[in-house]
Structures are given as structure tokens and as C-alpha cells.
Structure 1
Amino acid sequence: MSDSDSDDYQIEEPVLAEDDPMRGFVPTSFGKTSKEANIAAQIEQTRRQVEKPVSQKQGKEKAASSDSDSDDDSDGSDSDDEDEAERFPVTHEIVLKTHERAVTSIALDPAGARMLSGSLDGTVNFHDFASMTPTTLRAFKSIDPWETKKSAATDSHPIQHVEFSRHSGSVFLCVTAHPQAKIMSRDGAIVTEFVKGDMYLRDMNNTKGHVGEITTGTWHPTDPNLCVTAGSDSTLRIWDINNKRSQKEIIVFKSKAAGSAGRTRMTAVAWGESPQGSSPVMVAAALDGSLVMYSGNGPFTRPAAEIKDAHGPNTWTGGIDISRDGRMVVTRGGDGLVKLWDTRKFKQPLVKVEHASTSDRYPMTNIKYSPDSRFIITGSASGHLHILNPANLRPEHVTPITPGIPLIAVDWHPKLNQILTGSANAETHVLYNPSLSTRGALEVMSRAPKKRHIDDDPSLTMDQSGLGLSGDAIVAPGALGGQKRGGRSRATPRGPQAQQITPFMRSQPDEKHISENIPLSRMLHEDPREALLRYADVAKKDPVFTSAWAKTQPVTQYAELSDEEAEEGPDKKKVKR
């Protein structure tokens, strides 16, 4: 066969059908293949699947017309809802599930790199957008602010409020259901722990700290060293974070509706910017329904303005915020009303609308202005996010986040242009829009999914996701709360309850050490009488120890029984006459 004839021959190759499953195992090319992330597909996967967006913006409602017109209007309304949703960063979302109970507070540092979430489970979780990927949406750290002071009889204190400093973001204010607030670093270390007041003093002006539970707090708008806390002891206390021994200023609110005692709980406080270059504004709400306003720089001897019946008495006004220019104040009360106030005419509300309250179960439910004060956001008992018009408090856009589950905490970050929400089902949602938002959740979904080993699968290994830790986190010895000496360890779902280490047990050797190093230590738990009788027969047969004096034992010289005792018995005694 010549070479020319070999060109006529063709090598037959196996041909697979288009639907053959073996095509997935047959390589299509030689060499190393790299799997690149499809950024557009990943972002599209986070698009919120809302069946029927809720839009209640006034002015777009149209009267019913003919059937043909109604069909046209329905098509137009759907397009209007979609266009309306594009105005706000609510089209996409990522969900973080790192808590065991309701999320009560959310905070982002000024740069938008680190996020904090506080919960009723008593923990604060730390999230870094720079370290998360689409497959590792987890907290890299979880702390209990009171872990070092807990005992076997006490439990964790629920987190009431967390808030980063408005300037550097190097520290944050942590308020728990306790008379002492804490200033903590962005890594979770305690920087300052404010002092607790003397509960036996009746005059609150003489106490150096709160004597009742702290409900909330916030930072000074311009001074990074000052913060204010509101307590159930009817006081507002301004603290200097460099001095934990005593508060810098104390504001004692004397309620006119509380009778002779004049005490009531302070439920909310806000510290806003100064309008037109004047002093900052501080506005606080009380349980008796009062709303008081102070000059942010003092003096604080009496309020600049006070409204006695701003909200219903004995209802918890947990939401309060001040606009960016310091002129408008919005409050959300436990009486089911949202009201808008003008600080220049602080007597009557400008607008009030009905809004279902969740203060009976979650009193820390808040309400916030958008960064540019063009909108107001708040949650609802039905799990919807309400974006309101700040002029008339009418809904601009309403969208479901956790349907049927109350939405507690909301926040709108100015740099990221993303909305964060915390719900009663322990979920934290980060809402964003790829065309409007920057970094944050958008940056997370723009990364390639991390390749994970089989050992990183939580269902197959002892993964730490239940503790709020990622599978890639480096945990130093003793860094976990359950491993601290003297502290109370929490039982994990995959492990038993660890034995508590008490100061007495530290100085005592354990049972294993005793059994291995101390001879005859097993006899400590035996009955000595039974142990001796066990060798009674052996001692008679082979008297190793008693043979030396076996033949020299003394002989008994007394009779066993007397004659009278033999007749009457040993128990009967002779009666004396």
C-alpha cells in the first residue's frame, strides 16, 4: 500500500448522541481548564422573586374603567411597578443566616466594609464583605459581650442596639438589656465599659451611671468621643468614651403623667445634625407618650420643647430619627401611628399615618431616614419593607422581605446605597441594585465561588457555621466563648454540654490522672469491710501475716455464760430489791 492510498482511509471515532449523559465526562480539550465565574449569572440568581410587587404610591391610583381599559391599565401598572422598583436598591438581595433568634439591630461602618448584627440570642456577629463569596455567606466572628461575666445561673443579655462611630468606625456602641453599655473595637474587644449606678439612691442626679436597663443609645453627630444612652431609670446620660467612671452629663426627665414619682422609661433617643449651623438637636421619647427636645450642646436643665401626648401613653415608641438638615423628626409609636414633626414648630405633628406596631414583641423596631433624607424606611409586622415619602408619609414602594414574619431593624448605607434588614426569623437581608449600588453585596456576588473541599460540607463534617464562623476561619485556642475558663459554655447542636470549670476544680487533679499515677487509687471507691472479708479465707489457709503469733495467742480466763444467764438468757437482768 502506497502513501497515496493511505489518504483514502479515515479513522472511525466514537460518536455520542446529543442527549447522552456521557458527554459530561468526555473532555472537550487538552490541558488545564480554568473555571471562571459568570458574574452576570451570579447576580441574576440573587434577583428577588416577588410574585406581585406591592406599590401603594398615591397619585398613581386610577379609577376603574371598561374591561378593555382595565386590561391596558393592568399591563401598565406592572411596568410601573417594575420601573418604580428600579428607583430603589431593592431588586436583588443576599440572605445571611447566622443567628438563632430575632435580629434586633444592624450596623455598618462608615466605609461599608464591615457589618454588625445583634440578636436576642445575646451575640453580635461580624461580617466582612471583602471576605465573603457567593458560597460563603457567613459571619467570620461571633461574640457575646457578657461572656466573661456570665455564671451558671445567668444567661446572655439580649442585644438592644449596636452602632458604629459616625466618623472613623474603629469602635462601636453596644447596648444590651443591662445597666452598663460598652464601647467595643471593630474586632470585638472591649474598649470601655461604663459604670453602673447605685440603685439605692433616689435622686438620679447623684448616680454615676444607669440604675436600670438601657434601652438604646446613639453617637454625637460631630464629636467622636461622645455618645448618649437612654435608660429605664428615666434618664438620658451623655458619656465620654475616655472616662468610664461617670457620665459627662445627666438629663433627668420628670414625667408629668407619672404622678408624684415623676419617673418613666426613656424608650428612644436621636442626636441629629444642627439646622443652619446652630447646635445639634437631641430628641427623646418616653413610655408615658412624651416627646422632648434638647439643645445638643446643653444646658440640659430643662428641655427646649416638650410634647406631652405625642403618642399614646404606656406605648413603646421605639423608632425615632432626625433628618439630615436637623429640621424634621419622624417617630414610630406603639400606638400604631407614624408621625412627622418640625423642630422649629415642635407642638403638633405635621402629618400622621397609621402603621401597625410591633412594639409589644419587639420594642426595638426602628424607623430611619435615607442618607439624603428623600425617603423614610421602616419595617412592618407583616414582613414588608415600607419606603415612605418624607413629606406626606405615603408609601412610595412596599416590598415583602419576610412575609408573615415581623421586620424589626432597617438601615440604609450612604456609600453602598444598599438597604439592610433584620427579621424575627433570625435572617439578615442585604438589598441592592446592580445599577445603583456599589461594593458591598454587589462585590460579594462579583467574585468566583470558592472551591470547597468535601470536609467543608456542613452536613458531612463538624462545620462551625452553627457558631457563626466560616469554614475557613482560623480559631485560636481559647478564642471561642465555650472554651473560656470560668465562663459558661453553650452547647452546640452537634456536641454535648461541656462541663463547667469552677475555681475549685482547677486545683483538683482529674480522675484520669489519679487512676494512672496514684497506686491503689481504685480502692478509694471500695468498701473497706468488704475488701478485707474478701481475703478472710485466704488468711486462714495461708496466714502470711498472722503466723508469727498464731501459737502465742492468750487464753480466755472467763466463762462464756454464768449460771443465772444460762437459765434466764443473756438479755434478762436480775431485778434488784
Structure 2
Amino acid sequence: MSDSDDFQVEVPQLAKDDPLRSFIPGSFGQMPKEVDIAAQLGRARRPAAIKPEKPQQQAKSAEDSDSNLDSGSDSDDDGDEFPVSHEMVLKTHERAVTTVSLDPAGTRLISGSLDGTLKLHDLPSLTPTTLRAFKTVDPYQGKPSANSEQFPICHIEFSPLSGGAVLCVGDHPQPKILSRDGDILTEFVKGDMYLRDQNNTKGHTAAATTGSWHPSDRNICVTAGTDSTLRIWDINNKRSQKDILVFKSKVAGNAGRTRMTAVVWASPAHGGNNVLVAAALDGSLVMWSGNGPFSRPTAEIRDAHKAGTWTGGLDVSKDGRMVVTRGGDGLVKLWDMRNFKKPLVAREHPSSADQYPMNTIKYSPNSTNILTGSPTGDLCILNPGNLTPELVTPVTPGFATIAIEWHPKINQIITASANAETRMLFSPEKSSRGALEVMSKAPKKRHVDDDPALTTDQTYGISGDSIIVPGSGGHVSSRRNAGVSQAGRSKDPRRPHAPQQTPFQRSQPNEKHISENIPLSKMLHEDPREALLKYADVAKKDPQFTGAWKSTQPVTQYADISDEEDDQPQKKKTKR
């Protein structure tokens, strides 16, 4: 058979409706697999939200009930103005999530929990099958507190101007400034708890509760504490606060001290003076001029909320005129700064401040709505004029919704709940990037390394096949006490035993701390004899203390001792 002969390949002739066609490939090589993005977003769709009807709408709906039966319920969903139709769930914590924050660009999410850890999520790198935190940070290094095993994280907030710094406030007297990657940049000093006058202390003498950034200065922040003070810090100076605001309670029996429970530092969007507003445990609501001086408050309301209840929710509108508060007495109140004496509106709203004091309330980015949570796990969107609910949607039914944030750039709502879940609510039509970009990606191809229970060490979050160097501090613990036996040894037989750090070793200052905080500490490693001999020639040429008798000082002469003399001591002569 020559090369010029033609070959003819016989192809089976099948009917168009033959089921065998599904098993015959249409081409050679690897077949491209298309991802159904619409199906992925459909799985992320949430149940329909509840819209409370207004009184004037209830009568109209009763008359038009028959005409609306055939229209369906999809028309209501299409007219939603809130980005709550879809959600993305992040389950990275072990205990209740108390605070969340998203950077100004909407790419980095940080959440804090009662377990004392921070979880860092990089949203552009996530996929629908890899919803994990890329780093876990324990800002207080697992030091036990008096009330619990860890220091709970009370407040976390990105800098609103740059996003390069993060204010971290835990149940500890020393707030911290972290980088966007979780590294500790500044740890503010702790004050002297034995000083009665708080004006003489350099830092908080009791646990801090919350904090806020300056609206126009990226280096200034304020923290509130249970020592009845607000302290303004410069993040470049950790040794002492920049200003201190001591609030003296007028309630009898407190000796002039109370706990500061909430603080917000706001600036009008269209220009004007800054304002600093804080709430206290005695029910007071206090306002200062945000530009100083801070010698005395500009306005104060003694009975804003019931005394002894924790007012954790506090926010100021974008125009700088309205203040909304959520107290532990089950009331949400609206205040006007131009008449800062009595509330404009007060509505009942259940609170879970007894279990989670970090209950927050926030204005929407354009201040046209007010967001808050509920002990039943609902997200409530209120009208900013009369505080009536405009939308109530369940987020985590049966578990309290603690913290809420509405990001203005990506138009998404982030919630933190008591069931250790962080949820990002979005809408495919109204939101951009963020969770929408994550859920629109193709799922990552399943690999054996994607299962942390099989090939990943739970303690350090690294592959089991990697080379482990003892004493290298490049790992970050992903889960506390995970992968460790009761005796404190690793379950992985290939991992060498790491020496445990005792509490005595943890409290010892290292060489870096001594060199930075103790003056003249470098002289500890210097030989004192060599240090004195350096000045021998200088003292001989230019004597400063013996210069008065330098020319008249006689030359010292010593007697010569011959070798024949006896070295033994002479006997005393007997007296006669």
C-alpha cells in the first residue's frame, strides 16, 4: 500500500435523539469545563426578607389583595434597595464573633472573636471552595485574664483614610495598632493603677472597651476604658497618651468613676467641626469638641439610658447632626446635636448586652438607613427619621447578631454572629467585588492538600511533607491546642518536640525590650576596667580635678627593698 492511498474512517451514524451521543466525544484532548456562575449565585441566595408594612400601606394592601395574587412574590424581591439577596458564609472562628472590619478598598476582612484571635481574610484570593482565613493572629499571645482563658477582642477597625493600620482593642489595658497583615506595630503603655488621679497616668489603668479613629488624621485614635477615661493616642508615641479625657460621673456611690462603654469620632461630610461622643455605664451621653480642647464636655445628658445597662451601640450621621444610640435597656434613641437635651425618637428594640456587650448600631453609607442586629439573629434596617423597621431579614436564626458594618465602596453588609459565623450579604445587581467576586469564580479543583484534616498540621497550618526546623518562628497557629495531645506533645510523630514556654519565661524581658526601654542598658555588656582605662590618657594630659596642684605636687619616692631583707614581719619591740 503506497503513501498516496486515501484512508477513510468510518463514523457511526446516530440519530439526533440517540442517548449514545452523550458518551461520544466531539473532539480529542482535554474538554473545557464551563462553570455555571448563575447556578453558584443561586445556591448563595438567601430566603426572602420580611418587610414590615406601614399603617397606611396595610389598608391599601387589604383592598388590592385580590389583584396581587397573580403577580407573584418576585416583584418584591426585584424592588429591594438593600444588598441582602445573597450571602457568603465564613466559618473560621471557634467562638462568637464580636467585631468585624473591612479596609477602605474592600479587599481585606478582619474579624475578632471571644476566643482572643483575629482572622485575616484576603477576599480576592478566595474561591467558593476555599473560604478560609490566610492568617490567624493572637494579639495578646494567649495570656490568661481574670475572667476567662483568653482576652476577648472587643473592637477592631481599619484606618478609614489609608487602611494600612488597624486599631485592636481587647479586654486588656493596652490597645494595639496592627498592620494590615496582622503584625503588631504599636502597643500602648499601661498606666499606674495605684495613682488615684487619672490625669497623672500615662495609659489605661483598667481594661479598654472600644475605640475609634480620628476622621481626618491617620495617626490619631481614641480609646475608651473602664477606668472612666477616654485617651487620645498618637500611634507613633506608645509611651504616653496625647490627651486624656477624665469623665466624672454624677451618680452617687460611684466616687465619680464609671465605665466608658462606647465612643465615636466623626466629622461632617460637607465640612464643619469634628465631634467626639461617648456613652457611659451610668447612662450618660457626653459630647466634646473633636478639635479640642478637652478640658470639659460641650454637652452632657445624664439619663440618656438606664443606669447600669451597657450602651454599646453609638454612631453619628454623615452630616454630623444626628446621633443614634442602642442601650442595654432595650431602647434605641435618636438625638439631635442642635438640641442635645432629650431624644427625638425612642423605640423599643431587644438587646443582648448581658451576654455580648459589643452590640453595635450603624448608619448606612449615605445615612438614609440605620442598621442593627437582634438577639434572635435578625438584621434590622430602620428608618432614620422615626426608627421604624423597614426591613427585617434573618441572618443566623437562634443566634444573636452582634456586629454589623455596611461598606460604602462595594455596597455589601458584613455581620458577626454568636454562632462563630461571619456573613457577607450582597446583591448581584447592586454590589461590586467583595463576596460577589468570590462567588463568581470557578471552584478550585479539589486536591488532597485542601483537606486540613489529612495533610495539614492543625497547630501550625503547614504541610505535613514540609521540612520542619525546630525553633523557627515563621509559622502562625491556626487553631489553639489543635493537633496536640493532652500531654502537650504534637500528634505528628515526625515533628520534633518543641520546648514549652513557662509563665516565668514569658514574663522575662528579652534583650530587645531592655535595649529599647532601659537607658544606658548597652553598658551591661561592657568591661568596667576597659571603660575606665579609656579615660586614663585623657586624665593624665588634662586633669580636671587635680589641676590646682599639678605644678607643686611632689614626686612620689618609694624605698628600695634589698633581697637580703627578711620578708617576714618584724617582731614588736618589748616595752621597758
Q: What TM-score do the two structures reach when normalised by structure 2?
A: 0.78
Residue 38 of structure 1, CA deviation: 2.4
C-alpha distance after superposition, 1:174-206 (max 9, x if no partner): 000000000000111111000001111111111
Looking at structure 2, the residues matched to 475 and 108 of structure 1 have their Cα atoms a distance apart, in angstroms, of 34
Candidates 277, 295, 310, aligned match of 1:301: 295
Q: How does 1:147-546 map to 2 (within 5 A)?
A: 147=141, 155-259=149-253, 261-274=255-268, 277-458=271-452, 461-463=454-456, 477-481=472-476, 490-492=480-482, 498-499=488-489, 501-502=499-500
Cα distance change of structure 1 residues 506 and 408 upon mapping to structure 2, 3 Å threshold: closer
Asked if 2 retains the 8 angstrom alpha-carbon contact of 1:143 and 1:188, the reply is yes
Cα distance change of structure 1 residues 306 and 411 upon mapping to structure 2, 3 Å threshold: same
C-alpha distance after superposition, 1:284-315 (max 9, x if no partner): 00001100000001111111000010011100
Candidates 32, 42, 45, aligned match of 2:43: 45
Looking at structure 2, the residues matched to 15 and 75 of structure 1 have their Cα atoms a distance apart, in angstroms, of 42
- In structure 2, the residue matched to 1:125 is 119
Looking at structure 2, the residues matched to 282 and 361 of structure 1 have their Cα atoms a distance apart, in angstroms, of 27
Candidates 70, 73, 82, aligned match of 2:77: 82
Looking at structure 1, the residues matched to 136 and 311 of structure 2 have their Cα atoms a distance apart, in angstroms, of 30
Task: Output the amino acid matched with 1:351.
Answer: V
Looking at structure 2, the residues matched to 11 and 392 of structure 1 have their Cα atoms a distance apart, in angstroms, of 75
Residue 63 of structure 1, CA deviation: 3.3
Does residue 111 (structure 1) correspond to residue 109 (structure 2)? The answer is no
Q: Work out the number of aligned pairs and report it.
A: 490
Looking at structure 2, the residues matched to 328 and 77 of structure 1 have their Cα atoms a distance apart, in angstroms, of 39
Does residue 135 (structure 1) correspond to residue 133 (structure 2)? The answer is no
Asked if 2 retains the 8 angstrom alpha-carbon contact of 1:117 and 1:126, the reply is yes
Cα distance change of structure 1 residues 15 and 494 upon mapping to structure 2, 3 Å threshold: farther
Candidates 20, 45, 58, aligned match of 1:62: 58
Looking at structure 1, the residues matched to 422 and 99 of structure 2 have their Cα atoms a distance apart, in angstroms, of 10
Residue 438 of structure 1, CA deviation: 0.8
Residue 111 of structure 1, CA deviation: 0.7
Task: Output the amino acid matched with 1:43.
Answer: L
Give structure 1 stretches of 5+ with no counterpart: 1-8, 484-488, 508-577
Looking at structure 1, the residues matched to 45 and 134 of structure 2 have their Cα atoms a distance apart, in angstroms, of 25
Asked if 2 retains the 8 angstrom alpha-carbon contact of 1:194 and 1:209, the reply is yes
Asked if 1 retains the 8 angstrom alpha-carbon contact of 2:112 and 2:119, the reply is yes
Task: Output the amino acid matched with 2:51.
Answer: S
C-alpha distance after superposition, 1:149-197 (max 9, x if no partner): 6799984211000000011101100000000000000111111000001
Asked if 2 retains the 8 angstrom alpha-carbon contact of 1:57 and 1:395, the reply is no
Cα distance change of structure 1 residues 57 and 490 upon mapping to structure 2, 3 Å threshold: same
Cα distance change of structure 1 residues 204 and 470 upon mapping to structure 2, 3 Å threshold: farther
Partner SS for 2:436: helix
Looking at structure 2, the residues matched to 44 and 114 of structure 1 have their Cα atoms a distance apart, in angstroms, of 25
Q: Could you tell me the percent identity over the aligned residues?
A: 59
Looking at structure 2, the residues matched to 504 and 355 of structure 1 have their Cα atoms a distance apart, in angstroms, of 47
Looking at structure 2, the residues matched to 95 and 468 of structure 1 have their Cα atoms a distance apart, in angstroms, of 21
Partner SS for 1:277: coil
Looking at structure 1, the residues matched to 362 and 147 of structure 2 have their Cα atoms a distance apart, in angstroms, of 38
Asked if 2 retains the 8 angstrom alpha-carbon contact of 1:58 and 1:395, the reply is no
- In structure 1, the residue matched to 2:556 is none
Looking at structure 2, the residues matched to 494 and 343 of structure 1 have their Cα atoms a distance apart, in angstroms, of 55
C-alpha distance after superposition, 1:477-527 (max 9, x if no partner): 5333559xxxxx9311676663573569999xxxxxxxxxxxxxxxxxxxx
Does residue 34 (structure 1) correspond to residue 62 (structure 2)? The answer is no
Residue 276 of structure 1, CA deviation: 6.0
Partner SS for 1:168: coil
Looking at structure 1, the residues matched to 145 and 91 of structure 2 have their Cα atoms a distance apart, in angstroms, of 28
Two-structure CA RMSD over aligned residues (Å): 3.5
Asked if 2 retains the 8 angstrom alpha-carbon contact of 1:57 and 1:397, the reply is no
Looking at structure 1, the residues matched to 72 and 383 of structure 2 have their Cα atoms a distance apart, in angstroms, of 20
Looking at structure 1, the residues matched to 464 and 136 of structure 2 have their Cα atoms a distance apart, in angstroms, of 14
C-alpha distance after superposition, 1:434-486 (max 9, x if no partner): 11111111111222211121342345x14468988999999995333559xxx
Looking at structure 1, the residues matched to 451 and 338 of structure 2 have their Cα atoms a distance apart, in angstroms, of 59
Looking at structure 2, the residues matched to 496 and 226 of structure 1 have their Cα atoms a distance apart, in angstroms, of 45
Looking at structure 2, the residues matched to 316 and 197 of structure 1 have their Cα atoms a distance apart, in angstroms, of 24
Cα distance change of structure 1 residues 294 and 81 upon mapping to structure 2, 3 Å threshold: same
Task: Output the amino acid matched with 1:346.
Answer: F
Cα distance change of structure 1 residues 18 and 467 upon mapping to structure 2, 3 Å threshold: farther
Task: Output the amino acid matched with 1:170.
Answer: G
Task: Output the amino acid matched with 1:435.
Answer: E
C-alpha distance after superposition, 1:90-138 (max 9, x if no partner): 0111100000000100001111110000000111000111100111111
Q: What TM-score do the two structures reach when normalised by structure 1?
A: 0.77
Looking at structure 1, the residues matched to 468 and 99 of structure 2 have their Cα atoms a distance apart, in angstroms, of 26
C-alpha distance after superposition, 1:57-113 (max 9, x if no partner): 4256323998x954445666945642443x111011110000000010000111111
Task: Output the amino acid matched with 1:93.
Answer: E
Looking at structure 2, the residues matched to 33 and 371 of structure 1 have their Cα atoms a distance apart, in angstroms, of 46
Give structure 2 stretches of 5+ with no counterpart: 1-8, 490-497, 506-576
Task: Output the amino acid matched with 2:59.
Answer: A
Partner SS for 1:419: strand
Task: Output the amino acid matched with 1:498.
Answer: G
- In structure 1, the residue matched to 2:538 is none
Looking at structure 2, the residues matched to 386 and 319 of structure 1 have their Cα atoms a distance apart, in angstroms, of 14
Q: Which has the higher contact order (CA 8 A, sep 6+)?
A: 1
Task: Output the amino acid matched with 2:137.
Answer: I
Looking at structure 1, the residues matched to 390 and 179 of structure 2 have their Cα atoms a distance apart, in angstroms, of 38
Partner SS for 2:59: coil
Asked if 1 retains the 8 angstrom alpha-carbon contact of 2:144 and 2:151, the reply is no
Partner SS for 2:124: coil
Looking at structure 2, the residues matched to 473 and 342 of structure 1 have their Cα atoms a distance apart, in angstroms, of 61
C-alpha distance after superposition, 1:306-339 (max 9, x if no partner): 0010011100000000111111110000010111
Looking at structure 2, the residues matched to 88 and 112 of structure 1 have their Cα atoms a distance apart, in angstroms, of 18
- In structure 1, the residue matched to 2:508 is none
C-alpha distance after superposition, 1:409-445 (max 9, x if no partner): 1000010000000100001100111111111111112
Deviates more, 1:175-184 or 1:39-48: 39-48
Deviates more, 1:462-471 or 1:272-281: 462-471
Asked if 1 retains the 8 angstrom alpha-carbon contact of 2:143 and 2:151, the reply is no
Asked if 2 retains the 8 angstrom alpha-carbon contact of 1:140 and 1:473, the reply is no
Looking at structure 2, the residues matched to 418 and 412 of structure 1 have their Cα atoms a distance apart, in angstroms, of 6
Q: How does 1:10-29 map to 2 (within 5 A)?
A: 27-29=25-27
Task: Output the amino acid matched with 1:63.
Answer: A
Asked if 2 retains the 8 angstrom alpha-carbon contact of 1:95 and 1:430, the reply is yes
